[in-house]
Amino acid sequence: MRQYPHLYIDGRWTEPMQPYEQELTDPTREEPFARVTLGTAADVDRAVAAARRAFETYSTTSVDERVALIDRIIDVYESHIDEFSELIAREVGIPVANRAQVTGPAEHMRVARDLVRAYAFESRIGGAIVRREPIGVCALISPWNWPVQTGVIKVIYALAAGCTVVAKPSVNSAASGALLAQVLHEAEVPAGVFNLVNGAGRDVGDALSRHPDVDLISFTGSTGAGKVVGAAAADTVKRVCLELGGKSANIVLPDADLERAARWNIQRCFFNAGQSCHAPSRMLVHESQVDQVAAFLADEAARYRLGDPLEQSTTMGPVVSAAQYKSIREHIQSGIDEGAHLVTGGLDRPEGLDRGFFVRPTVFTGVTPDMRIAREEIFGPVLAVLPYRDEDEALRIANDSPYGLGGYVFGRDPKNARRFVNGLRAGRVSYNGAATDSYTPMGGYKQSGIGRSMGTFGLDEYLEVKSVYGFEDEAQALPPLTG
């Protein structure tokens, strides 16, 4: 049994003031593999105080100093990549073959480093100076589905901006959170600049959201939990950045390459066992083409190799927990009960797997917009295929959702496809499966969030803006503000 008995506060590993333990369950074996000690609001107070003290000096560091710090973090992180890969396989079921989960964070660090190196922290409007200054102490709450990458993106942009941090990973991924803290410790991040407090959302998360000395809270998770965070943060009028749920639609236009669209949709939707907020979990297909598309979907879904995520041959591991497993199965049952057609997958356990929280890749056709599987974020390997009669109806169905995180369009005519790309009410939209870019902003419309992460927009989230007057000569030497 692995032990994680400490929090990381003010540059040291320390015991919680009122410690209590929680076991982490290996979702493949359905048995505990680690024990983590959780903190409380009292530990949040200690961590925030340390971050506040450190901010006084860290906020004045030069860009060159912060770039050098990020370079050290990258070097140490890359020496631990295999350890991260094995750990997230054990704690949340992510296959070790999924290298994007552990190589991606280093790329995001490089992007943040390069952006801050070229960023105009001072510019001018007319004769006035416009300064961008670090906002202060940042509380960063990360999810379990991308346990390393999401945490890294939050931390590295905060540090690049000159802010100090109190991080809280999901309890489900507390082990990889502790390893990330170890990376920052080995990289000699100054004491108090980074702090880690493991704990439940109702305790540590709530205390961070309400804390008067926290200047910004960045939360990634469900829309329901995000509403709670936003409400708790309102009393102290701190900046709130939220990346929340999604029910992203992929509009397959009648002229699209149907096989390509179908196979890509399965690969993107079922990546990470469907536990990704941008997953295209609604596929909109012209009513005359549904049967043709369904055959490709079933064939691609059958190619997944479910099994132990520690084995290189595994392409889909278990879902994270018993609670998630139960929720996904309830959604599958609701699809059956409401009359959708089950093309592949379903409630039966995968062949040869008699334990573990494994869900068969599942595809429904004949789904109507009012069905539960068409409206709720399932967060599992379940795809709902909805027919449409004409293109105007396709766009209406796609936008008929409280969410607006991602969107996708497949078609051969770029001019026509652009109409749908522009019409989708979503923060990120991809045409014909185009890859995303780490320099571009990520975030959502509607109930999918507030604010943006990544790239220049992500750096802006951690900065305040100050207008300065009376220094016209100095202003003229600065670049004009263009954006």
Helix (H, G, I), strand (E, B) or coil at 263: helix
Beta-carbon contacts of 447 under 8 Å, excluding residues fewer than 6 positions away, are: 223, 244, 245, 402, 403, 404
pLDDT at position 483 is 58
Please name the amino acid found at residue 90.
R
Q: Tell me the average pLDDT across 446-453.
A: 97
Architecture category of domain 2-244+448-476 in CATH: 3-Layer(aba) Sandwich (3.40)
Q: Tell me the average pLDDT across 395-420.
A: 97
Q: Tell me the average pLDDT across 293-300.
A: 98
Question: What angle separates helix 149-161 from helix 100-118, to the nearest 10 degrees?
Answer: 10
Q: Do domains 2-244+448-476 and 249-431 have the same CATH topology?
A: no
The answer to whether the predicted template modeling score (pTM) of the entire model surpasses 0.85 is yes
pLDDT at position 235 is 95
In angstroms, the Cα distances linking 241 to 139, 250, 311, 442, 448 are 10, 26, 37, 11, 11
pLDDT at position 1 is 86
Neighbours of 241 (CB within 10 A): 22
Q: What is the pLDDT of residues 163-200, one digit of tens each?
A: 999 999 999 999 999 999 999 999 999 999 999 999 99
DSSP type of residue 180:
H
**Residues 91, 243, 300, 377: which is the catalytic one?**
243
* Residue ranges of domains in the chain: 2-244+448-476, 249-431
Q: Tell me the average pLDDT across 206-214.
A: 98
Indicate the class that CATH gives domain 249-431: alpha beta
Rg (CA), the chain: 23
Q: Tell me the average pLDDT across 421-438.
A: 97
Q: What is the pLDDT of residues 91-126, one digit of tens each?
A: 999 999 999 999 999 999 999 999 999 999 999 999
pLDDT at position 363 is 98
Reported as a pLDDT band with limits 50, 70 and 90, residue 393 is very high
pLDDT at position 388 is 98
Beta-carbon contacts of 281 under 8 Å, excluding residues fewer than 6 positions away, are: 246, 247, 248, 269, 274, 377, 378, 382, 383, 384
> Alpha helices, DSSP H only, in 33-173?
41-58, 63-79, 81-92, 100-118, 149-161
Q: What is the pLDDT of residues 62-86, one digit of tens each?
A: 999 999 999 999 999 999 999 999 9
Work out the percent of the chain whose per-residue pLDDT is above 90: 99
Please name the amino acid found at residue 442.
M
Say whether 83 is catalytic: no
* DSSP H/E element including 465: strand 463-468
Helix (H, G, I), strand (E, B) or coil at 384: strand
Helix (H, G, I), strand (E, B) or coil at 69: helix
Reported as a pLDDT band with limits 50, 70 and 90, residue 38 is very high
Rounded distance between C-alpha atoms, residue 211 and residue 192, angstroms: 17
pLDDT at position 19 is 82
DSSP type of residue 481:
P
Q: What is the pLDDT of residues 240-291, one digit of tens each?
A: 999 999 999 999 999 999 999 999 999 999 999 999 999 999 999 999 999 9
Q: Got the DSSP string for 422-448?
A: HHS-SSEEEETT----TTS-B--EETT
In the predicted model, is pLDDT for residue 482 greater than 90? no
The overall average pLDDT reported for the chain is: 97
